[in-house]
Structure 1
């Protein structure tokens, strides 16, 4: 029998924002503009008469049955990791991820998940595959790798041993959409909401086609009383659209609609989920809305401190997500505008950023100048805000936020123009190497990657070859994507210049210029490498050993405790051995076997390249030996640092000619 949820949070521990009515959202694909009276229809009362969400969210009269079954519609970069962590932290809740893409679901059920995120593999191995029982030793240790592993296995004083029971799988991936929705207490909608490419609002409005289609399916199959949650980033007032769709398909049946936007960054998504700085839940200002918010809050409160659970008006929650991403994008565009001034004046953008970042009113984050932001979120969310302002007849506001996008494009174009200018204004007969294809380090997410635009622009200059390498992406998948988005004719296999490599040195061999477009640690140099040997693999500096989480605060360690212990033991082992320890607690069940026609296995057999994937997550990485690259490049050995990862003086002492955005050699 599934145990009931822990008691709900103390009302005083929940952070609450003003439940004010947010502005409306544009017509077209996005939810249509409606009179403010519609807010009363959704919330059941006016703002002035509504109670504070904090006082009502955990009212004793607003208790709700515990959540036992969650269905997440959408197995992408939001749905997959979010569902995995929720299942991991709530062994008593069945979490099912549904998607009509059978190949994607097949990969989630294999050792080749479609998404690479540091830490995701360990979460999947417990939640998706279940675990064996084990014994851990509840005493800190500073022993070497073998001793640390033995300690975890229970060697030592028996009174310090803690038996950890086995757990059954509670995370499932399937294509049976209707069935899983019909069984769920909570339905999370986590589908893609890109920018419209045609029709009204093209280029700025949010394309809600996939979201609306899923909402219709949910409306038809959800059980009465189910809680419908917006996880996708959506325009403000989408909750009203969801309510209208539910009423259309199921008149007279009550559903509560919540907004629970994600605040995840690619490359740190698992960390962001496990140690979230806030969980935002928007609901209607009614008793039923408070009950629904309380039910969802109880799921998160199993590992998130109650003080970090923020509740708002549902429309405020929707708008807050757009504003958060827009403000971050604004900072990146702002520092890139300053980088252009630095290039023209001789100032150094790193020194400028350090000086202004020391001001506590400004802070140091998102002040790294470069070729601009990428990814699926920033651009489309800023454009959604632009479209909202335009439809609200606020042209000055729209122009302000559109300038953020314009500056981002300017930064990217200026970088390519500098490459062409330094190479005598022509790429004809020359080889250019692009290091980095994903839009940021430690992820294989390539959506809206700056590298893709740069490759497209470079190809127009007629180079002999554009070589591409990325340490986190599978070459075959990169080739397929470039063929789809740039054109199959650009691929070397079709007579074009673009070739994807599985080895960085091969990609750089014979190159006239190397462009760094993603800030992977592998691409950094370490000061002056002029005294290094040509073939030396320079290991990336290990992070400081995290503290041993033992002794645990509780007699029965939580999943977070066990994950912290596993991470500690793995890190301590890799610092004393060249062999990576994958399962120091001996909890993992065997990895699911792949089908005979597994496309990822076929790619591995054919190319020998696996990307990072499940089997390589904790393999130590080496920095590139830039002396070796220099030896095999063509003169004058140009390197264009689009991410500020190089020590320019050290590179110049090797002999490179370095161009970096807003930065200058201090040698």
Structure 2
């Protein structure tokens, strides 16, 4: 059968989807697609056998990621039309549509180190798709990628189809998920963005989303606009966080209250009230990486002033975290050497176990460098991940002269036993209503509360006898 005939048959209806990458994006996205499209067979593949085993575990508490609502979606779809496998080639060969949802970290060496995205896994996956695919296959970029990455993908796929009975179409379909609300973001998206130059392929992907997303929310662009839109969206959101944190510092110096300022400016319909919550800075896998990527691209295309503008957003975010750590040292009589400090929260935000670029990492490292002994509590992050992030195993040494240490605490109260200070870093719901009388009773005096999220009951902490610092309050 000629390729052209297979092409039109494949686009009549997408029946089988393969997603390469079983991480924070691939797993939840494919789970929702499978849930909403029971007639489509969805297979998520990954070379990490342990991760696939966790996705297949009957104990949903063992899932590799924590995301509210994900377990319910999996219960409906897994084993019915949602599958997790390590057999990548077989899943690709059977698929009408392949999503590329692999990691694109920032390069650590070579040209663009520290800014440009490392695309080795995207290239490797594309080559695997080129080799294993059969007939016509729609390849969808799901990972966050630099603008014009699709050219690389198209070149590799075009070379593979020469002399072969196969063909490809390439689309960009960036994710706009916020960890902690990913399932709701997928089920009730603000928009679904699809970029491409192949009308039939665009329609095929749009028809999948139209199972549950209103057509008016499905936006179509060319490939390059779609790729750049994802970077730009994250850059604008991160910019708002750095902006309000800069104002929070000014509020502290002048006696203003950043919450009141945020409410005042957020009431302006031109500005809006989203992402105006001051805190320890942004984290997660996307914001830092995507802004740095944008900085690199602007520099590459000779837009030095634009690159400098976006670089400042990153610098201010780093400064906010360093500022908080130095403030803790200052308030504790300019030394934390050997002092126990309770750190509440390590994930970069509540309702996720993701610690990538978490503000807690920089704050903890700054304090460890000063010789602090950290007692860390987080309801979802495990000690192995913290060891990896801090580049040192757990272990407290109260007699340490130079190097600090850390341990995992089973509860906030136990983290505070003998501590000089408690730092709230992640906005977990359980930290909103802590028993400050009980906490103060077990701490060394004078006892400090540093609330980097402005969520704790500061009045109750003050009433208990604690000294209180809240971000953005003069």
- Give the alignment's TM-score, normalised by structure 1: 0.67
Match of 1:103 among 31, 45, 50: 50
Shift of 1:646: 2.2
Does the residue aligned with 2:219 lie in a helix, a strand or coil? strand
Contact 2:436-2:460 at 8 Å conserved across structures: no
Distance 1:639 1:182 in 2: 57
Distance 1:492 1:180 in 2: 48
1:351 aligns with 2:260: yes
Q: 1:261 maps to what in 2?
A: 174
Q: Deviations over 1:454-479 (max 9, x none)?
A: 1111111112x210001122xxx3x2
Q: 2:378 maps to what in 1?
A: 470
1:201 aligns with 2:105: no
Contact 1:483-1:491 at 8 Å conserved across structures: no
Q: Deviations over 1:358-404 (max 9, x none)?
A: 10000011001111000000000001110110001010000000000
Match of 2:424 among 505, 508, 516: 516
Q: Deviations over 1:417-476 (max 9, x none)?
A: 10000000101231001000100001111111111111111111112x210001122xxx
Contact 2:10-2:136 at 8 Å conserved across structures: no
Q: Deviations over 1:47-82 (max 9, x none)?
A: xxxxxxxxxxxxxx9993111100000000000000
Q: How does 1:114-513 map to 2 (within 5 A)?
A: 114-129=64-79, 169-251=80-162, 253-284=166-197, 289-463=198-372, 465-473=373-381, 477=382, 479-488=383-392, 491-492=395-396, 497-513=405-421
Contact 1:186-1:228 at 8 Å conserved across structures: yes
1:69 aligns with 2:16: yes
Distance 1:239 1:92 in 2: 29
Does the residue aligned with 1:64 lie in a helix, a strand or coil? helix
Rg: which structure is higher? 1
Distance 1:504 1:215 in 2: 46
Distance 1:70 1:93 in 2: 7
Q: Deviations over 1:501-544 (max 9, x none)?
A: 2222111111110001101111113xxxxxxxxxxxxxxxxxxx
- Superposed CA RMSD in Å reads 1.7
Q: Which runs of 5+ in 2 are unaligned?
A: 1-7
Q: 2:463 maps to what in 1?
A: 653
Contact 1:117-1:266 at 8 Å conserved across structures: yes
Does the residue aligned with 2:288 lie in a helix, a strand or coil? helix
Does the residue aligned with 1:187 lie in a helix, a strand or coil? strand
Structure number with higher helix proportion: 2
Contact 2:107-2:113 at 8 Å conserved across structures: yes
Q: How does 1:555-574 map to 2 (within 5 A)?
A: none
Higher relative contact order (CA 8 A, sep 6+): 1
Q: Deviations over 1:605-638 (max 9, x none)?
A: xxxxxxxxxxxxxxxxxxx322211111111120
Distance 1:66 1:341 in 2: 57
Contact 1:281-1:317 at 8 Å conserved across structures: yes
Distance 1:376 1:71 in 2: 23
Distance 1:490 1:80 in 2: 31
Q: Deviations over 1:555-613 (max 9, x none)?
A: xxxxxxxxxxxxxxxxxxxxxxxxxxxxxxxxxxxxxxxxxxxxxxxxxxxxxxxxxxx
Contact 1:459-1:490 at 8 Å conserved across structures: no
Contact 1:220-1:250 at 8 Å conserved across structures: no
Distance 2:322 2:147 in 1: 32
Distance 2:391 2:291 in 1: 28
Q: 1:634 maps to what in 2?
A: 444
Contact 1:62-1:290 at 8 Å conserved across structures: no
Distance 1:226 1:414 in 2: 51
Shift of 1:490: 5.8
